[in-house]
Homo-oligomer: A and B are copies of this chain.
Amino acid sequence: MTNQQALSELSSLLGDRFSAGKSDLDLHGRSETHFPHLPPDAVVYPGSTKDVQAIVAICARHRCPVTGWGAGTSLEGAALAMRGGVTVDFSRMDKVIEVNAEDMDVRVQPGLTREALNRELRATGLMFPVDPGANASLGGMAATRASGTTAVRYGTMKQNVLGLQAVLADGRIIRTGSRARKSSSGYDLTSLLVGSEGTLGLITELTLKLQGIPEAVSAATCAFPDIGAAVDAVIATIQSGVPMARIEFVDIDTVAAFNSVNGADMPPLPHLMVEFHGSPQGTEEDAARFGEIAGEFGAGNFAWASAAEDRNRLWKMRHEAYWAILQTRPGARAIVTDICVPISRLAEAVEQTRADIAESPIPGPILGHVGDGNLHAILLVKDDADMQVAQRLAGRMADRALRLGGTITGEHGIGMGKLGYMEAEHGAAWDVMSDIKRALDPLGIFNPGKVVRQD
């Protein structure tokens, strides 16, 4: 097996930063969700871009698959080595290289996590706002085009990566973008690499936009009589131009999980969870404006959280909804779906999905980043029969997203779970993705099995 030759060369090159130990392979064969255990043949721990270049050169020579690994938080198994080979674990490339406070940007290594970055930034008064919930690595977030609760205000990784350094399959090291805020200088290679899930290049450095830590932050939850009312309030709020920092939907089943697992005391109704960032006066006005709009759609049970600890508790609960929901069905694993539709179609998407799940034998609470039209059902499965049900439900959600003018994944990526829907979403454009993949990685060594059509 040719991978063996690659492994032996990598072992010589990297010494103790090469591992084929069982626990390392096991750890890097696991995903957050339901995918089978898929250990790579070896794990390597580069310390620099040059290391990555040398690793790729060896793997290319032996046509050995190379899969990048950040913090292992992908919900679609994007970092699993589907075809074996070498997993490149970036955890030792986790430094802040340079903070430019005046320009509100930062250069980091890909293994740095978003929480670690925000800790390092605190003294500067700046923050990196993209927040997928999990403490993901920034390289992984870029590779996934991740987003989360704050995208409605600050955008996704697409809007927040100014530039990248990457190692390509033929060993070239490229820099894309610059520290300028905008550019019309040729093809947007930064955007091409963001969301490419390690299939076109390995990201070895990122330049990220930062935001000022808001002077004032306030948050709230409120209840709505039904899903349609909650979603209509979201549409009206977005159209009114109130600059929401977060606007999250949770359905009755998610509320039930919060109440039983987190000891929350929320009425059994669909809720919105919202946050406002700005000046003290500005957030107060925004909150009042939101309150008025939500009120027009029957909102009640407003619970305001201005103190930092109340807000932290609120968002911790929201971020850990996945774990709370898992606990409502002991012994279950979860399939987390992830569609995104135009917000005018969101009520339909939620209602049809709820009805579909209600008719099925498995539970599936629904929550979402509704300011973006992004929706997750957390389908709880215990056995193969459940899994088949869940896959069918997930498939119907994907079809529904496309029928409603949306996308099969708002923020989790394609990974191992979504390849089967790519043709339906993209048609001929999916072939164009293959053309680009062939041009940049003709041997197909980077994360084989993901994103593009498989021969």
Task: List chain A positions with a Cβ less than 8 A from chain B.
Answer: 100, 102-105, 144-147, 151, 155-156, 158-159, 168, 172-176, 178-189, 191-192, 194-196, 200, 211-212, 214-215, 235, 238-241, 243, 278-279, 281-282, 285, 289, 338, 340-344, 372-374, 401, 405-414, 418, 422, 425-433, 435-436, 438-440, 451-452
Contact = CB atoms under 8 A, between A and B. Distances in A.
A166 to B, nearest CB: 9
Copies of chain A in the complex: 2
B432 A174 contact: yes
A100 B405 CA distance: 12
Contacts of A440: 432, 435-436
B182 A340 contact: yes
Contact of A185 (B151, B182, B200, B409): B409
29 contacts: A103-B344, A104-B238, A156-B182, A158-B188, A158-B191, A172-B432, A173-B428, A175-B426, A175-B427, A176-B426, A178-B425, A179-B405, A180-B340, A180-B342, A180-B405, A180-B406, A183-B407, A183-B409, A185-B407, A185-B413, A186-B452, A187-B433, A189-B429, A192-B436, A212-B241, A241-B278, A241-B279, A279-B289, A436-B436
Contacts of A411: 182, 184
B185 A408 contact: yes
Nearest to A174: B429
Residue among A159, A178, A343 with most chain B CB within 10 A: A178
A235 B102 contact: yes
Given A187-B195, A422-B186, A181 B433 contact: no
A237 to B, nearest CB: 11
Contacts of A191: 158, 188, 191-192
Given A178-B406, A185-B425, 7 more contacts: A102-B235, A103-B344, A145-B182, A178-B405, A185-B414, A186-B433, A187-B196
A427 B158 contact: no
A184 B432 contact: no
A410 to B, nearest CB: 6
A103 B418 CA distance: 26
B373 A181 contact: yes
A181 B241 contact: no
